[in-house]
């Protein structure tokens, strides 16, 4: 596998990460996961806009490199037309301590992996081990620190499921561990607002634009009463088959997921 690291293409086995890199030592950085289908880099402008916003939040310099050209260079080097691109930006190497250096030298790593097939309908639980802090500015960015999400996903696996729905500190629905969430009730499509801890997802924004779905605070009770639930992230749309033992999967839910996937 060929990757992009700080301005050059290099074999992945030859990559060296500085042991003082703040992305490694402190999770000080951002990432974007981007789908590629038929050579088309999906929602690229939205991903780069979110990356730029994340840089502003973290006071992290935006990459000097032409990110689109670097992404395409990785695809070309690996002869891939269907892939998952991962762009990772860290603040770079620095001395010990929390305060970033006055003049950081960010590190940019881009890798590619095969595009997986569409995921089957999800079996979910509402996570009890951790909650999403809707008051933190980190809720609005794709930071390298995903430990709350990892804990939630581990809990789901321990309970025999494959995805976890995360609540915020006030008990309202924020989203899933690796996806945004929509419900359908009486033909109305609703998703949690950003203010409740939902990530500003690129696919989420597209679905809202194309369908007229609206934002509204949701509770676990709203999920239980929903006609359908589905999850969205950069790799696609996934219907929910089960949540805390309640079954949701129907032909309608499968059809809706397929229709929404066509929008992407």
157-180: per-residue pLDDT in tens?
A: 999 999 999 999 999 999 999 999
Query: How many distinct structural domains can be found in the chain?
Result: 2
Claim to verify: residue 179 and residue 217 sit in the same structural domain:
yes
209-244: per-residue pLDDT in tens?
A: 999 999 999 999 999 999 999 999 999 999 999 999
State the pTM of this model: 0.93
Residue whose tokens read 């309202």:
172
> Per-residue pLDDT averaged across 108-114, rounded?
98
Give the angle subtended at the CA of 165 by the CAs of 140 and 83, to the nearest 5°.
Answer: 65
Q: Which two tokens stand for residue 207?
A: 């679905």
Phi, psi values for residue 199, rounded to 5°: -70, 140
> Per-residue pLDDT averaged across 171-191, rounded?
96
Claim to verify: residue 38 and residue 148 sit in the same structural domain:
no
Does residue 2 contact residue 77 with C-beta atoms inside 8 Å?
yes
The Cβ of residue 87 has, within 10 Å, a number of other Cβ atoms equal to: 23
Residue whose C-alpha is closest to residue 7's, from 62, 70, 51:
70
Radius of gyration of the chain (CA): 19
The Cβ of residue 129 has, within 10 Å, a number of other Cβ atoms equal to: 12
Q: Percent of the chain, pLDDT > 70?
A: 94
Claim to verify: residue 90 and residue 200 sit in the same structural domain:
no
pLDDT at residue 87 tops 60: yes
Does residue 153 contact residue 164 with C-beta atoms inside 8 Å?
yes
What b-and-e string marks burial along 215-235, b requiring 16 or more CB atoms within 10 Å of the CB?
Answer: eeebeeebbeebebbbbbbbb
**What is the CATH number for 228?**
3.20.10.10
**What is the CATH number for 72?**
3.30.470.10
The Cβ of residue 158 has, within 10 Å, a number of other Cβ atoms equal to: 10
Claim to verify: residue 137 and residue 72 sit in the same structural domain:
no
Does residue 28 contact residue 134 with C-beta atoms inside 8 Å?
no
Claim to verify: residue 149 and residue 253 sit in the same structural domain:
yes
Range of the domain at 8: 2-114
36-45: per-residue pLDDT in tens?
A: 999 999 999 9
Claim to verify: residue 157 and residue 104 sit in the same structural domain:
no
Instruction: Give the neighbor-by-neighbor strand order of the sheet with 2-5.
Output: 8-11, 2-5, 107-114, 83-90, 29-37, 40-41
Give the pLDDT confidence score for residue 263 in this predicted structure.
Answer: 61
Claim to verify: residue 47 and residue 78 sit in the same structural domain:
yes
């Amino acid at each position: 596998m060929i990757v992009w690291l700080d301005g050059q293409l290099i074999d992945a086995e030859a990559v060296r990460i500085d042991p003082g890199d703040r992305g490694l030592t402190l999770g000080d950085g951002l990432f974007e996961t981007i789908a590629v289908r038929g050579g088309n880099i999906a929602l690229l402008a939205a991903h780069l806009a979110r990356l730029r916003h994340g840089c502003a939040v973290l006071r992290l310099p935006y990459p000097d490199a032409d990110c689109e050209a670097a992404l395409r260079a990785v695809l070309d080097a690996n002869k891939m037309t269907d892939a998952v691109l991962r762009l990772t930006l860290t603040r770079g190497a620095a001395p010990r301590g929390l305060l970033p250096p006055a003049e950081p030298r960010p590190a940019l790593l881009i890798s590619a992996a095969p595009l997986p097939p569409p995921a089957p309908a999800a079996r979910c639980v509402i996570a009890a081990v951790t909650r999403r802090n809707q008051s933190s500015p980190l809720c609005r960015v794709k930071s390298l620190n995903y430990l709350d999400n990892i804990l939630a996903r581990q809990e789901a696996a321990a309970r025999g499921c494959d995805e976890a729905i995360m609540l915020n500190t006030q008990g309202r629905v924020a989203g899933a561990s690796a996806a945004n969430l929509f419900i359908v009730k009486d033909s109305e499509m609703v998703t949690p607002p950003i203010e409740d801890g939902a990530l500003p997802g690129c696919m989420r924004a597209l679905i809202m634009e194309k369908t007229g779905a609206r934002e509204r605070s949701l509770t676990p009770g709203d999920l239980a009463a929903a006609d359908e639930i589905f999850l969205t992230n950069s790799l696609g749309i996934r219907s929910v088959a089960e949540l805390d033992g309640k079954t949701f999967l129907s032909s309608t839910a499968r059809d809706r997921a397929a229709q929404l996937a066509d929008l992407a």
